[in-house]
Amino acid sequence: MSSALELHPRLRAIELRGALLTALFGLPFGVFFGVGAVWLACSTIAMSLRYESGTPATRVRLIEMSVSERIIAHADATVSYADSRGIKRLHRLSIERFLAAPEPDAALQVRYSAEDPAVAVSSWERESLRHALVMAFALALLSGFFVWSTARSARVGLGRLRLATQLAQMGQLVQVEILDSKRDELGMRVMLRYRYRTPNGTVLTASIPSSEGGAYRVDESPSKSLALLAPDERRGVLLTRSGYPVLNASERLQPAR
């Protein structure tokens, strides 16, 4: 090529803004669910340890209890107990379990701290340990999903920016053959995944956000598109429906070899 291809004048701003907006949306959710998972796991384990090391209370009685049962059953209850000196105390508990909460007539024990008898843990809370850990694991998965989805979306845009900038100087714009495409809805952005064949037979892959209209079409053919390719055709950027990131793509098309 005699001159460098002209890229969209706002290519850098568009891709950096897209990556920033994705990060501003996804990372707070990732941090929120991650912190929630750590807090829930640590508090649940600490509660279990307090129960195991606590002093058994006497005269344990359920005073009141309210239950909300959906997929996760939530129960709030107030119990009374007596410490070793016979002092009556109250303990308010809040537990969450899958599907069903404890029945009001279920066995209930309370253990309190020898250093501070007002600090107590009930057997219902101790028995909810596995439920809480499963919920903590679910929160951790949600956190990982948002972080992964954010990184994936940012990688697509920033990778296209970096590669297009390089190939605009030493690559060429040629017609390629679309082999297949599929819709990927896993993540915060719906992506269209393409496999395409270059003129020398190399098969490359590309990801284009569905909001950008998919791959460029030559003569409105679903199997013919344009790509900005390296001289050895081992790297490439598949153009979007509008020709992005190249300006006047159809006018700059190089004949296939």
Q: Is residue 162 part of a domain?
A: no
Dist CA 196 CA 205 (whole Å): 6
Mean pLDDT computed over 246-256: 66
Q: Sorting pLDDT into bands at 50, 70 and 90, what band is 254?
A: low
138: confidence class by pLDDT, cuts 50, 70, 90:
very high
The model's confidence at residue 256, banded by pLDDT at 50, 70 and 90, is very low
- Whether residue 132 is predicted with pLDDT greater than 70 in this model: the reply is yes
Domain carrying residue 189: 171-252
Q: Looking at the structure, tell me whether residues 133 and 209 fall in a common domain.
A: no
Q: Per the domain annotation, does 12 fall within a domain?
A: no
Beta-carbon contacts of 144 under 8 Å, excluding residues fewer than 6 positions away, are 30
Q: Which of 93, 122, 139 is the last residue of a domain?
A: 139
CATH of the domain at 199: 2.40.50
Examine residue 1 and state whether it is found in any structural domain, yes or no: no
Looking at residue 157, its pLDDT comes to 86
Nearest 5°: CA angle at 146, between 143 and 148?
A: 105
Phi first, then psi, for residue 199 (nearest 5°) are -55, -30
Based on the fold, state whether residues 182 and 107 are members of the same structural domain.
no
187-214 pLDDT, tens digit each? 778 899 999 999 999 999 999 988 889 9
Cα separation, 61 vs 80, whole angstroms: 5
The residues, any chain, with a CB within 8 Å of residue 49's CB and separated by 6 or more, are: none
Average pLDDT score over residue span 99-106: 85
Q: What is the mean pLDDT of the chain?
A: 89
Q: Is residue 7 part of a domain?
A: no
Q: What is the DSSP string of the chain?
A: --SPPPBPTTHHHHHHHHHHHHHHHHHHHHHHHHHHHHHHHHHHHHHHHHHHHSEEPEEEEEEEEEEE-SSEEEEEEEEEEE-TT--EEEEEEEEEEES-PPPTTS---EEE-SS-TT-EEEHHHHHTHHHHHHHHHHHHHHHHHHHHHHHHHHHHHHHHHHHHHHHHHH-EEEEEEEEEEEEE-SSSS-EEEEEEE-TTS-EEEEEEEGGGTSB--GGG-TTEEEEEE-TTSSSEEE-BTT-TTBTTGGGGPBPP-
Q: Is the pLDDT of residue 81 over 90?
A: yes
Residue 135 lies in a domain: yes
How much is the pLDDT for 156? 85
Same-domain status, 99 and 195? no
Name the pLDDT band for 93 (thresholds 50, 70, 90). Answer: very high
> Do 205 and 129 lie in a common domain?
no
Which pLDDT score, from 0 to 100, does residue 1 have? 38
More confident residue, 235 or 69: 235
Residue 59 lies in a domain: yes
pLDDT band at residue 180 under the 50/70/90 scheme: very high
Instruction: Decide if 149 is inside a domain.
Output: no
Please tell me the total count of domains within the chain: 2
What pLDDT is recorded for position 101?
84
Residue 119 lies in a domain: yes
Say whether both 131 and 183 belong to one domain. Answer: no
128 and 213 housed in the same domain: no
Using the predicted structure, report yes or no on whether residue 257 has a pLDDT greater than 70.
Answer: no
Given a cut of 80, is residue 219 above it in pLDDT?
Answer: yes
Residue 88 has pLDDT above 50, yes or no: yes
Q: Are residues 67 and 134 in the same domain?
A: yes
Based on the domain organization, do 120 and 66 belong to the same domain? yes
* Co-location of 133 and 194 in the same domain: no
